[in-house]
Amino acid sequence: MASEKVLAYLDANRQQHVDQLCEFLRIPSISSVSEHNEDTKRAAAFVADELRELGLAVEVHDLGGHPLIFAETEIRPDRKTLLFYGHYDVQPVDPLELWETPPFEPRIEDGIVYARGSSDDKGQVYTHIKALEAYIREGVEVPVNVKFIIEGEEECGGHSIYEFTEKNPEKLSCDAIIVSDTTLYNETTPGICYSLKGLAYMEIRVSGPAMDLHSGSYGGTVQNPGNALAEIVAKLKDSDGRCLVPGFYDDVLDLDQEERDGFAALGYTDEILQKETGVVAPFGEAGYTTLERMWARPTCDVNGLVSGYGGEGAKTVIPAKAMAKVSMRLVPNQDPEKIAKAFQDYVRQIAPDGVEVEVINHHNANPVLVPRKSEMMKAGMAALEKGFGAPPVFIREGGSIPIVGTFQDCLKSPVLLLGYGLATDNIHSPNEKFHLENFWRGARTSAILMAEAAL
């Protein structure tokens, strides 16, 4: 257990830590919008300054994208080392009109802070910094060596952290990698996440006539890109929700009975899903429960679909182009490159005549699976139980954190996914929020983990 002094410091400084978090949240570090490059730099500087003030050796690397921060405490070989990962960049804010208050003017209401990045991931990564601060400011020896790697390109598919990790495995060497960028199971139950989905993100571009055509003058004489794209999209999945890309399920690691029983015991109901999402009924691959589909089955979903006229009233055109973005969320042991290639081949094969079809693979992420039994897992579970006051349950996530698979491959250390957010935090969506109670409990958990991992 972390010393009482350390935990008392975190309790005594709750308000100050929230104020500082709000300062961090005011920086609009949207990594995918170049207009915000200076802001993204400022967010990196905010993090680097805090770590420097705590006496860490801090490096800020420019690898052609947004700054990558590496920092470490004095490394003593007789101690274990924890590497904390997080990201200071955030998603774009549109549609802006749906925000109740501006995304970069943090608002606190009923113990919840509303701002872009509050849960994903500034609020979560900040818990690690405050946990370390507690040891240092109280003059309590930190029981482990601590390293940080904090990036600014998680949300935009940047390469800096991959390059750095591949080139510097020694620098990043550690006994465990700690990632807080996922969720609790629910408001009262923490979760220890042992699997992230991977991703293959595709774009289909269909082009037909050189310009939009009058739909009367030319209707019936040429292939319509909108119709052609609809035909393609309709063949991506069957009506039972199964993906029709050949070989899609070949490498999927099936759930074992223990996992299925574990999921079932969590008592997630379709009513909860309906309440969380506002849908009239759940839908998905036949033969699996909602949680099984959410956490452990691969998916294929349109993320964007654009063609022709979408404005007010009617406009009679055959559009020159049509475009769809499609994400495939993958599970262990699917290979994103192999799946992306199978998708490209399939779309080209089913594309109707009379249009040109281009299929682009934007970015990929490897799925992650963490062994559920290890010493570090035990330390993580103990820390969560003490930090949140309830024993954690095993969970998986439908989201992806692309670098984690690379960490596993290059560093060969166990990964601990200790999420402090909630599924209902509206990450990537208007009115993103983070519960302050989870921020404070998260900081306690991180502090306790530093002690538990040392045992």
Per CB under 6 A, residues contacting ligand BES are 120-121, 154-155, 157, 181-183, 199, 363, 365, 397, 399-402
Residue that has been written with the tokens 């009975």 in this structure: 257
| Cβ partners under 8 Å of residue 329, min gap 6 | 197, 198, 199, 298, 299, 301, 398, 400
> Of 89, 121, 133, 452, which one interacts with Mn ion (CB under 5 A)?
121
Nearest to 245 by CA among 359, 353, 356: 359
Least separation in angstroms between CB 329 and ligand BES: 8
Residue nearest to ligand BES (CB): 399
Least separation in angstroms between CB 161 and Mn ion: 13
Order of all β-strands in the sheet with 191-193: 57-61, 68-72, 145-151, 81-87, 176-179, 415-417, 191-193, 393-395
Nearer to ligand BES, 157 or 241 (CB): 157
* 224 vs 309: CA distance, rounded Å: 13
- Picked from Mn ion, ligand BES, none, the partner binding residue 182 (CB below 5 to 8 A depending on kind) is ligand BES
Q: How many CB atoms lie within 10 A of CB 436?
A: 20
Per-residue binding string, Mn ion, 66-105, x by CB under 5 A, is ----------------------------------------
- Picked from Mn ion, ligand BES, none, the partner binding residue 402 (CB below 5 to 8 A depending on kind) is ligand BES
Nearer to Mn ion, 181 or 452 (CB): 181
Nearer to ligand BES, 341 or 363 (CB): 363
Angle at 247 between CA 245 and CA 250, to 5 degrees: 135
- Picked from ligand BES, Mn ion, none, the partner binding residue 157 (CB below 5 to 8 A depending on kind) is ligand BES
Q: How many CB atoms lie within 10 A of CB 205?
A: 16
- Picked from Mn ion, ligand BES, none, the partner binding residue 151 (CB below 5 to 8 A depending on kind) is none
| Cβ partners under 8 Å of residue 60, min gap 6 | 44, 45, 48, 67, 68, 69
* 360 vs 373: CA distance, rounded Å: 39
Q: Does the footprint of Mn ion cover residue 425 (CB under 5 A)?
A: no
Q: Does the footprint of Mn ion cover residue 181 (CB under 5 A)?
A: yes
* 216 vs 318: CA distance, rounded Å: 9
Q: For residue 33, how far is the Cα from the chain centroid?
A: 18
Contact yes or no for 357/232 (Cβ under 8 A): yes
Q: Does the footprint of Mn ion cover residue 120 (CB under 5 A)?
A: yes
- Picked from ligand BES, Mn ion, none, the partner binding residue 452 (CB below 5 to 8 A depending on kind) is none
Burial class (CB in 10 A: 0-12, 13-18, 19+), 91: buried
Question: For the CA atoms of 79, 83, 84, 86, what is the dihedral angle to 10 degrees?
Answer: 170
Nearer to ligand BES, 143 or 399 (CB): 399
Span of 72-80, 125-133, 178-186, 351-359 interacting with Mn ion by CB under 5 A: 178-186
Number of residues that bind Mn ion (CB under 5 A): 3
Least separation in angstroms between CB 79 and ligand BES: 29
Least separation in angstroms between CB 55 and ligand BES: 29
| Cβ partners under 8 Å of residue 187, min gap 6 | 422, 435
Nearer to ligand BES, 79 or 293 (CB): 293
- Picked from ligand BES, Mn ion, none, the partner binding residue 399 (CB below 5 to 8 A depending on kind) is ligand BES
Nearer to Mn ion, 388 or 420 (CB): 420
* 180 vs 275: CA distance, rounded Å: 26
- Picked from ligand BES, Mn ion, none, the partner binding residue 48 (CB below 5 to 8 A depending on kind) is none
Span of 58-66, 180-188, 285-293, 439-447 interacting with Mn ion by CB under 5 A: 180-188
Nearer to ligand BES, 95 or 139 (CB): 95
**325 bridge partner residues:** 203, 304
The residues binding Mn ion (CB under 5 A) are 120-121, 181
